[in-house]
Amino acid sequence: MLFFVLVSFISIVKIMTNHAMIQMQSEFEQAHRRGVERFSLMESYVLTQTIKQFHAYENEKLCFEFHEGVVIVSFIDESAYLFFDFEKPVYSRLDYDLVFDSALNYTYIDESEYLLIDKKLD
């Protein structure tokens, strides 16, 4: 009888432990998903403002401040280089065609490529 109670107790503890681990993993995934969604919203806002700058033929450096950090947009010819200075920095480039007034390509770039461009700006 004691053996049966002990086995039952151990099984219940294992089930509760597994449930707690699943719950923690679920909360972690939800927090990560919200972070990705928040970054996507900020990125789309910055891209929209950058395209407006191209459309107005203004190539002034842009700076956007968010709770997560700062976004700096630098222009060289028909390209805009974006630096998302967040906890994990993100570098990207937006190519624009001024003749047809349209965005051509948006890509993420390496830090080393951004640093080469940043030296040209100085």
Average pLDDT, the chain: 88
Q: Is the pLDDT of residue 13 over 70?
A: yes
d(CA 30, CA 50): 30
> CB neighbours of 62 closer than 8 A, spacing ≥ 6?
46, 49, 50, 53, 71, 72, 73
Q: State pTM to two decimals.
A: 0.74
List pLDDT tens digits, range 83-97: 999 888 999 999 988
Average pLDDT over residues 102-119: 84
Backbone φ/ψ region at 69: left (φ over 0), alpha (ψ -120 to 50), beta: left
> Partners of 3 in the beta sheet?
none
What radius of gyration do the chain's Cα atoms show? 24
Backbone φ/ψ region at 81: left (φ over 0), alpha (ψ -120 to 50), beta: beta
Choose among 48, 88, 49: nearest CA to 68.
Answer: 88
Q: Is the pLDDT of residue 120 over 70?
A: no
Count the domains in the chain: 1
What is residue 2's predicted lDDT score, i.e. its pLDDT?
A: 76
List pLDDT tens digits, range 15-72: 999 999 999 999 999 999 998 899 899 999 999 999 888 888 878 889 999 988 899 9
The three-state secondary structure class of 103 is strand
Containing structural domain, residue 67: 2-121
What is residue 76's predicted lDDT score, i.e. its pLDDT?
A: 86
